[in-house]
Amino acid sequence: MKKFANLFSSVVAWIWSFLPYKLNLYFGNVLAFLWIDIFQIRKDVIYSNLDIVFPNKSFEEKKKIARGSMQSMGRNFFDTFKIPSVDLPWIEKQVRFHGLDHYEKALAEGKGILFLSLHLGSGDLGAAVLAKRLKPIYIISKRFRNQFIDTAWFALRGASKTQFIDAHGKKNAFEILGALKKNFGVVFVLDQFMGKPFGVLTSFFGKKTGTAYGLALFAKKTQAPVVPIYTHWGKDGMLNISFGERIDLSPFVSDDDETYKCNVTNRFNHEIEKIILQHPEHWMWVHRRWKDFE
């Protein structure tokens, strides 16, 4: 099964290496049309989320954001097929970095980097670019139950030397610490709902919900810098990779772990909110972010 899955991913990547990136955008637009206009999958969830964040926007404005969101998700899916063929000439031509000095300063500390990220833009393609242009990173990611899908998908995602840590793996804490010890960056994707026992009650765009507290704990234990990172495609066709300024956690120092986890995780949520407001059409509005925390 694994050999066939690896072969399948190699064939798909080989075919996609001959196709222009603009075709990924086209396919993403087709998926968005089918999702929003034909099948209307989770339509109520998408617009409920938009109502929370943008209560004063018109329906047409929200529909534009919803369509853009699904286009971005679709493009991200097809961009993954391009990862094995990413090279330096393409990066020099098609990628624009922002805040690279924030990354370099954090890396110079030698403690590794805790990256705060979210489902926005083409994250896996961005990770491939970092692996080729700067340094490979580790991404904490859920695995698929289906062995064929899991093997094929992660073969594509990891073709650029990006490393993955199973979000539910028994040894993931040791893997995270090991990566930081080697001065690598570890990506925590914090924009999804997380209930007990791995989440804490937080606020996201003013509404109570659960958020994973793992990043807060690792920040306290390792004192490694926390740096926001995200990608988005510009209207000019360039892939933008942005590093934010290191997040100052000194105001939240506390001997009480529960208080610390809540306050710091809320600080991370606030940072994610700012990014979403800057690029609302690139975020994953289809996720049930505001479930009841229990």
CATH, residue 144: 3.40.1130
* Tens digit of each residue's pLDDT (9 = 90 or more) over 247-257: 999 999 988 88
* Tens digit of each residue's pLDDT (9 = 90 or more) over 133-169: 999 999 999 999 999 999 999 999 999 999 999 999 9
For strands 239-243 and 226-233, give the pairing.
Answer: antiparallel
Q: Which domain range does residue 44 map to?
A: 2-282
Bin 118: left if φ > 0, else alpha if -120 < ψ < 50, else beta: beta
| Residue 18: per-residue pLDDT | 94
Q: Residue 129 pLDDT more than 80?
A: yes
Q: Residue 100 pLDDT more than 80?
A: yes
Mean pLDDT for all residues in the chain: 96
Q: Residue 2 pLDDT more than 90?
A: no
| Residue 51: per-residue pLDDT | 98
| Residue 84: per-residue pLDDT | 96
Is residue 293 domain-resident?
Answer: no
Domain count, the chain: 1
Is residue 290 domain-resident?
Answer: no
Is residue 291 domain-resident?
Answer: no
| Residue 294: per-residue pLDDT | 77
**Percent of residues, the chain, with pLDDT higher than 70:** 100
* Tens digit of each residue's pLDDT (9 = 90 or more) over 198-248: 999 999 999 999 999 999 999 999 999 999 999 999 999 999 999 999 999
**pTM of the predicted protein model:** 0.96
Is residue 287 domain-resident?
Answer: no
Instruction: Tell which residue, 43, 35, 119, has the closest CA to residue 76.
Output: 119
Is residue 288 domain-resident?
Answer: no
Write the burial class of residue 66 (CB in 10 Å: 0-12 exposed, 13-18 middle, 19+ buried). Answer: buried
Is residue 294 domain-resident?
Answer: no
Is residue 222 domain-resident?
Answer: yes
Determine the average pLDDT of the residues in 64-69.
Answer: 96
H helices of 54-181, where? 59-79, 88-94, 100-108, 123-133, 147-157, 172-181
Is residue 292 domain-resident?
Answer: no
Strand, coil or helix: 262 = helix
